[in-house]
A and B are shown apart, each in its own frame.
Chain A
Amino acid sequence: MIGQEDAAGALAAVQRARRRSFELSGYAHAGNIVLAWGLVWLVCNLAVHFAPRGGANAWAIGIPLATLYSIFHGRANRGKGPILDWRVAATVGVGFVFMALIAVIVGLDDPRQTNALISLFIAANYAVMGIWTGLRFTWAGIAIAAIVTLGWFFDRGNFYLWMGLAGGGALIATGLWLRRA
């Protein structure tokens, strides 16, 4: 005989299992996308570090490539995790415009400041996404924020090198961690 309390407990267990399943599917699904953005951070930051004059152009190639990959990967895995379709491009676009406006209003004259600001904005997005979908994203956000802050205060002279190796590396490691979920 199953009582009301047992039945309510069983229904709660079902809800928990569904939520956990969605969370793990979301991780596995997002893993490749985070990995792709990690590679972009790695390559583009290193390009700016080693070629200060034209290296920044790498972002003009890397960001659209990673955005397109995120959209196509999101479509191919529709229904497995958080929705990743045209909204990825819209989110990147909103973030870019928002950051550009802040940079203009605040009057940032050092491109490293812009880089740090955008990176912190991305870290905050990961942290917020984690609050809603799964804590691994929050840990990634915290790690990226810590990396940006450490690079800014302790080795600003090699900021791009630091952001490429540590920031890109952290995203790549996060992508691999998520894929294993």
Chain B
Amino acid sequence: MSEGVPDEVVHQTTRLRILAALEAEPDAKPLDFSRLKGITEATDGNLGAHLATLEKAGYVAVEKEPAGKRFRTLVSITKAGRTAFLAHLDFLKSIVGGR
């Protein structure tokens, strides 16, 4: 993303929160679906849809891990996702700073 052009995939509020939470994890460790739900305060369906958008853009990786009889969804930020998120933060800061 060049400076001055917003990344529409990242800018949407829920997706921005998802990426902010994932980016804050040390060593890009994955977060599980329920934790992300708690952070974003989104519904299951809403969160799932936004994760699909981010995954399609290559910004997050989604894995299913067996947990007893069910599956646990683990989400981690990709290198491209981190780059896009940090670039978007710089872009937002440049607007706020009036640069």
- A interface vs B, CB < 8 Å? 2-4, 6-8, 10-11, 13-14, 16-18, 20-22, 24-25, 28, 79-80, 181
Decide: A17 and B40 in contact? CB cutoff 8 A. yes
Decide: A21 and B96 in contact? CB cutoff 8 A. no
- B interface vs A, CB < 8 Å? 6, 11, 13, 16-18, 20-21, 24-26, 31, 35, 38-40, 89, 92-93, 95-96, 98
Chain A's nearest CB lies how many Å from the CB of B34?
A: 9
Choose from B39, B92, B93, B95 the contact partner of A17 (Cβ within 8 Å). B39
Decide: B21 and A20 in contact? CB cutoff 8 A. yes
Chain A's nearest CB lies how many Å from the CB of B22?
A: 8
B20: chain A residues at CB < 8 Å are 13-14, 17-18, 21
Chain B's nearest CB lies how many Å from the CB of A16?
A: 8
Chain A's nearest CB lies how many Å from the CB of B7?
A: 11
Decide: A79 and B11 in contact? CB cutoff 8 A. no
B40: chain A residues at CB < 8 Å are 17
Complex-state Cα separation, A25 to B24, whole angstroms: 11
Q: Contacts A17-B17, A20-B21, A21-B20 known; A11 to B89 CB distance under 8 Å?
A: yes
B24: chain A residues at CB < 8 Å are 17-18, 21-22
Decide: B35 and A24 in contact? CB cutoff 8 A. yes
Decide: B38 and A3 in contact? CB cutoff 8 A. no
Q: Contacts A10-B16, A13-B16, A181-B38 known; A21 to B92 CB distance under 8 Å?
A: no
Decide: A11 and B39 in contact? CB cutoff 8 A. no
Q: Contacts A13-B17, A21-B39 known; A2 to B11 CB distance under 8 Å?
A: yes
Closest to A8 in B: B96
Decide: A24 and B17 in contact? CB cutoff 8 A. no
B11: chain A residues at CB < 8 Å are 2, 10
A21: chain B residues at CB < 8 Å are 20-21, 24-25, 31, 35, 39
A-B contacts, 12 of them at CB < 8 A, read A2-B6, A7-B95, A7-B96, A10-B13, A13-B20, A17-B40, A21-B20, A21-B31, A22-B24, A24-B39, A25-B25, A80-B26
